[in-house]
Amino acid sequence: MYCVLAQNKNGAICFLLSLNMDIQYVYTKKRNQLGRPTNFSDRPAEILAEIIPNLNLLQEFIYRDPVEIGVQNSIQLSEHEVNTIRYNTESKGINHTEGGWPKDVNIQEQDQINRFRKKIEKDEFYLNSLYRLIHDLEIDIKQNNAIDIHQIYFQNKIDDYDEPFNIKTINLYTYNSNINQMANHISWQPDGQRKIAVSYCNFDFNPIIINTIDSLVWDIENPNKPELILKPNSSLSTVEFNQKDTYQILAGCLNGQVCIFDLRKGNTPVEQSLIEYSHRETVRNALWLQSKTGTEFFSAAADGKIYWWDTKKMNQPVDKLVLDLEKKERSQYASAITKLEYDSSIPTKFMVGTEAGRIVLCTRKAKIDAERINVIYPGHSGPIYSIQRHPFFHKTFLSIGDWTLRIWSEEIRDDYIFSTKPSKYYLTDAQWCPGRPGVFISSTTEGSIHVWDLLFKQDQPALTVKLSEEAIACLSFQEQGRYIACGTKNGNVTLMELSDSLCILDRNEKQLVATMFDRETRRTHLLETRSRFKHDKQIRTITLRSEEELNEEISQSTEQFWSIINKEKKKLQDYLKQFEQELNLKEN
C-alpha cells in the first residue's frame, strides 16, 4: 500500500491511495481548505531520548501462558414484537335438554318414549348401523386391553447392565446470606415432591458467630430464589415435612427447642416448645410419628434425652426417655445422641445412634427406661452420623460412623453382615435408594459421593462423583428414587438425577438382594456361634481343672514371684555396700 499527494492546476490537493496496485481511490480537496501550507525538508535523524535496558526489570516480567481470548461468531438475529387485537370473552349459561326426538313424541311421557324405542329397534337400518358400531368398538377395546400406552415396557433392559451408571446435576441452590453456612439437613415435601426444606446451622464452636442463620424452602424448579425464608429464634439443626399435613415443617433448634412452621401462615414458628422444658443441648434429630392425627413427633439431643411431643400441647413433652446404657438411672450417665431413625411400618420401634459410636434399638411398649432399651450394637469407632432401615427389608439397616459404612441385621447383635473398606476420608451420610434394593449412596468430607451397587460390585463403589470442594454434610432421596439432594458445608444444595440403571427395579433384583442378605446373616451367625463356642470351651476347661493343679500352679507362681523379689533385694544390698565403700575411700 502507498499514497501520493499532488496539487492540480486549480490549486486542489489530491490524495491518491493505492492498495496492492489493484484498488485506487482519489480524494480531492481545495487548497484554501487545508490551511497554511507545509514545507517539507530533509534532515538527518536525531536522538531525542535514550533508554538503556534495565536487566533487573526482566526478573519482574511474568510470561502470560497460555493466552486465551473469547471470540463470538454467532449469528445476530433481530426481534420484533406485535400486539394483536384483544379478544373480549363473555361467559353465558345454556339450558341443555334432551334432543333428537320427533315432534309428535312428548319426552315427558314415558309411554310415548317406550313405543318410539320399540319402533326404532325393529328398523333394519338401525340394526345394521348398531352392528357396525359395535364391531369397531370391540376392536378398539381389544387394542386397549392388549397395549397400555402409559406402561414402560423396557424398564428391565438393564439385566446385563448395558446402560452405564450415570448421575447428572440438575440445579444448584445458593442463597447469598447463607454462603459458608453448613446445610446440615434436607427434607422433601411429600405432596408432589416439588419442594425441599433445608436447615442451615454451624456445629463448629465459634464464639464470634452469634447471629441466627435463616433456613430456606426451595422450589426445585426455581433455583434463583427460595420460595420461603424461615425465620427461627435460633438456628435450625434439622427440618422434617409432615406426611399428613404437607404444609407443616417440624424443626429442631440449636438451643434445644423444637418448633413448628406452617407454610400457609408465614415464615415464623406457629408453635414452639418452652425453653425450660426443652433439651439442654442442640437437637440432632426430630421426626414425625405414625399416628391417626398426624400431630405426634419425638426429638433427641446431645444431652442424652428423647422427648415425645404433641403439636396440640407444646408446653411440655408428653413422654421422656433418658438413654442410660449402663442402666444406672441417672441423667449424668446418659449417652449423647447424634441420630434418630424411625420407620412408620414399625411404629413401636426406633433406633438411636450415639456419640460413642454405638447403635441402640429401642421400643415404646415398655414404661421403664431400662426396659425400653432392647439391643445395643457395637456400631463404629466414631460418632454415628447416619442410620437408615432398608426400604424393602426392614430387619436390615445401614450405619455411618467413621471411615466405613456397615450393614447390620437385627438378628445378629454382636457383628455386622457387610462393611465397606476404610475410606481415606471421613464418611458423613448415607441413604438407601428407594428404587433399587441393592443400591445406596454415601458422602465424604472430600466432597465426593460414592454410589454402591451390591449386585455389581461389593469391594468398591460402582460410581464416584466429585461434587464439591467442601465436605458434603447431608443427603436426601426423593420418594421415587429418581432425584437426590446434597447439602455441602459451604451452604450449597445440589439436585442430581440418577440414570435408569440406578433407580429402576429389575424384576429379579429384590429376590437376589434378599438371598444375599440371608446368606450373609447366616454366615455371620455361624461365625458368632463358633467364637462363642470356643470361648465357652475355654471357660469349661478352666473350671474342670482339679484343685490340686490350681494350687500347684499358684504355689509355683508364688515361688517365682518371691525369687524375683529376693534377687532384686540382693542387688540393692550389693549396690548399697559398694556405695558405702566408695564414700569411705573418699573420706580417707
Same domain assignment for residues 513 and 576: no
The side-by-side arrangement of strands in the sheet containing 386-389 is 386-389, 396-400, 405-409, 418-419
H or E segment to which residue 272 belongs: strand 271-272
Q: Are residues 241 and 320 located together in one domain of the fold?
A: yes
- Over residues 317-326, the pLDDT tens digits come to 988 888 888 7
Strands (E), 454-551: 463-466, 472-477, 483-488, 493-498
- The CATH number for 499's domain is 2.130.10.10
Taking 70 as the threshold, does the pLDDT of residue 116 lie above it?
A: yes
For residues 372-387, average pLDDT = 89
Domain match, 172 and 248 both: yes
- Which is it for the CA torsion 145, 149, 150, 155, positive or negative? positive
Same domain, 285 and 394: yes
Position 286 scores a pLDDT of 92
Mean pLDDT check: name the lowest of 68-82, 237-251, 332-346, 407-421: 68-82
- Is 80 exceeded by the pLDDT of residue 8? no
Kindly state whether residues 480 and 451 are assigned to the same domain.
yes
| pLDDT, mean over the chain | 82
Partners of residue 450 on adjacent β-strands: 442, 464
The helix (H) or strand (E) run that includes residue 16 is strand 12-19
Tell me the residue type at 172: L
Task: Indicate whether 541 pLDDT > 60.
Answer: yes
Q: Which long-range contacts (CB under 8 A, 24 or more apart) does 460-469 make?
A: 460/421, 462/165, 463/165, 463/166, 463/167, 463/502, 465/167, 465/496, 467/494, 467/496, 468/492, 468/494
**Higher pLDDT residue, 5 or 285?**
285
For residues 550 and 523, membership in a common domain is answered with no
Whether this prediction's pTM lies above 0.85 is answered by no
* Same domain for 553 and 518: no
pLDDT attached to residue 485? 92
Give, as one character, the DSSP assignment of residue 313: B
* Range from 324-328, 369-373, 536-540 carrying the lowest mean pLDDT: 536-540
Statement: residue 10 has pLDDT above 60: no
User: Quick one: what percent of the chain has pLDDT higher than 90?
Assistant: 19
Per DSSP, the residues of 222-249 read --SS-SEEE--SS-EEEEEE-SSSTTEE
Parallel, antiparallel or unpaired: strands 305-310 and 319-322: antiparallel
Task: Based on the fold, state whether residues 487 and 588 are members of the same structural domain.
Answer: no
Please give the sequence-ordered ranges of beta strands (E in DSSP) within 454-556, or none if there are none. Answer: 463-466, 472-477, 483-488, 493-498
Note the pLDDT of residue 198. 93
Q: Is residue 432 part of a domain?
A: yes
Q: Per-residue confidence at 534, pLDDT binned at 50, 70, 90?
A: confident
| pLDDT over 50 at 292, yes or no | yes
| More confidently predicted of 487 and 66 | 487
Q: How confident is the model at residue 455 (pLDDT cuts 50, 70, 90)?
A: confident
What is the model's pLDDT at position 341?
A: 92
Burial class (CB in 10 A: 0-12, 13-18, 19+), 197: buried
The 10s digit of each residue's pLDDT in 137-194 is 888 888 777 766 666 665 554 444 456 788 888 889 988 888 888 888 999 998 777 8
Shared domain for 209 and 242, answered yes or no, is yes
Give me the pLDDT at residue 556, please. Answer: 86
Residue 137 in any domain: the answer is no
Give residue 580's domain range: 545-588
Burial state string for 157-182 with b = 16 or more CB within 10 A and e = fewer than 16? ebeeeeeebebeeebebebeebeebb
SS3 content of the chain, % helix, strand, coil (to 5): 25, 30, 50
**Grid coordinates representing 332?**
449424668
- Structural domains of the chain, count: 3
Do the domain assignments include residue 151?
A: no
pLDDT tens digits, one per residue of 219-239: 988 888 899 999 988 889 999
Asked whether residue 428 falls in the same domain as residue 573, the answer is no
Structural domain contains residue 213: yes
For residue 54, is it within any domain? Answer: no
Q: Are 435 and 445 in contact (CB under 8 A)?
A: no
575 with 444, same domain: the answer is no
Q: What is the DSSP letter of 505?
A: P
- The residues, any chain, with a CB within 8 Å of residue 221's CB and separated by 6 or more, are 194
Q: Is a pLDDT exceeding 60 seen at residue 90?
A: yes
pLDDT at 96: 67
Using one digit for the tens of pLDDT, what is the confidence trace for 246-280? 889 999 998 889 999 998 888 899 999 998 889 98
Q: Mark whether 248 and 376 lie in a shared domain.
A: yes
How is residue 335 written as a grid cell?
Answer: 449417652
Among 45-49, 314-318, 527-531, the minimum mean pLDDT is found in: 527-531
Q: How far apart are CA 235 and CA 199, in angstroms?
A: 8
Do the domain assignments include residue 417? yes
Could you report the per-residue pLDDT of 395-436, keeping only the tens digit for each? Answer: 899 999 888 999 999 888 888 888 888 888 889 999 999 888
Which range among 19-23, 191-195, 580-584 shows the weakest confidence by mean pLDDT? Answer: 19-23
Point out the domain boundary residue: 527, 554, 569.
527
* Average pLDDT of the residues in 296-306: 91
